[in-house]
Amino acid sequence: MSGRLDGKVAIITGGASGLGAAQAMLFAREGAKTIIADRDRKAGETLADSIVASGGTAEYGMLDVTDETSWATLVSSVVERHGALHILSNTAGIIHPAATVDESVEGWNRIVAVNQTGVFLGMRAVIPHMAAQGGGAIVNVSSLLGLIGFSGMIAYSATKGAIRIMTKAAAMEAVKQGIRINAIIPGPMKTPIQVNVPPEVDAWQRSRIPMGDLGEPEDIAYGALYLASDQAKYVTGTELIIDGGWSVTT
């Protein structure tokens, strides 16, 4: 049976856990050579082994998304060994709660470095390779907190809003090179990142979701699969909201 990503080489940052891991498993099932790029070597290698054991093609690649040398090392080794790079999913991200008046400069800089600078460095690292081979697809993972106003997450919200406009700006820069760049906007999903959410916020967010529950990581993976695949060949600079209907309500 043919897969939707047959013959594609895909890097997924944050691929060792949560939404990135769900994409790694699905992309591999759909025929991609999947590179699980993450700073967590143990979890990344364990996931790659389990994908290979179930018949997929996957490998772990050490990556700190905040570090440009780390990006250069990973991308050149992937291109050298696989001869191409078709897909980048920028999924790595961190969160901590802090309102504007409580956030430290150190905390602000930490979130910006991973969530925002990491996406910039990723796009910058792969676009020349994708352009040289005639095209590619980039998926950037934003958040509902980058779409509507929430209190208590100033730095995280700032980075996730930035990812949305970075996606559109970069999409316009790269469109003539056959590179499509799109964003996914997840609502709350059942992943380890949610352990940082205080219980009262968890209860509140469940009460706000029209579908009544947090989403599954696969719900995001299927959206990323579409945007990364050739079925989305006419789609660039757009945003796919996957949030159980939250953003539709007032």
Ligand X SMILES: NC(=O)c1ccc[n+]([C@@H]2O[C@H](COP(=O)([O-])OP(=O)(O)OC[C@H]3O[C@@H](n4cnc5c(N)ncnc54)[C@H](O)[C@@H]3O)[C@@H](O)[C@H]2O)c1
Residues annotated as part of the active site: 156
Nearer to ligand X, 113 or 135 (CB): 113
DSSP the chain: ---TTTT-EEEEETTTSHHHHHHHHHHHHTT-EEEEEES-HHHHHHHHHHHHHTT-EEEEEE--TT-HHHHHHHHHHHHHHHS---EEEE-------B-TTT--HHHHHHHIIIIIIHHHHHHHHHHHHHHHHT-EEEEEE--GGGTS--SSBHHHHHHHHHHHHHHHHHHHHHGGGTEEEEEEEE-SBSSGGGGGS-HHHHHHHHHH-TTSSPBPHHHHHHHHHHHHSGGGTT--S-EEEESTTGGG--
Q: Which positions lie near ligand X, rule CB under 6 A?
A: 13-14, 16-20, 38-40, 63-66, 91-95, 114, 141, 143, 186, 188-189, 191-194
Q: Which amino acid is at 226?
A: Y
What is the distance, to the nearest Å, from the Cα of residue 236 to the centroid of all Cα atoms in its chain? 16
Q: How far is the CB of 43 from ligand X (least distance, A)?
A: 6
Three-point CA angle 82, 42, 39, nearest 5°: 70
What minimum distance in Å lies between the beta carbon of 149 and ligand X? 15
Amino acid identity, position 116: Q
User: Could you tell me the smallest distance in angstroms from the CB atom of residue 32 to ligand X?
Assistant: 19
Question: C-beta of 121: minimal distance to ligand X in Å?
Answer: 10
CB 179 within 8 A of CB 214: no
Q: How far is the CB of 44 from ligand X (least distance, A)?
A: 7
Our CB check for ligand X shows the closer of 33 and 39 to be: 39
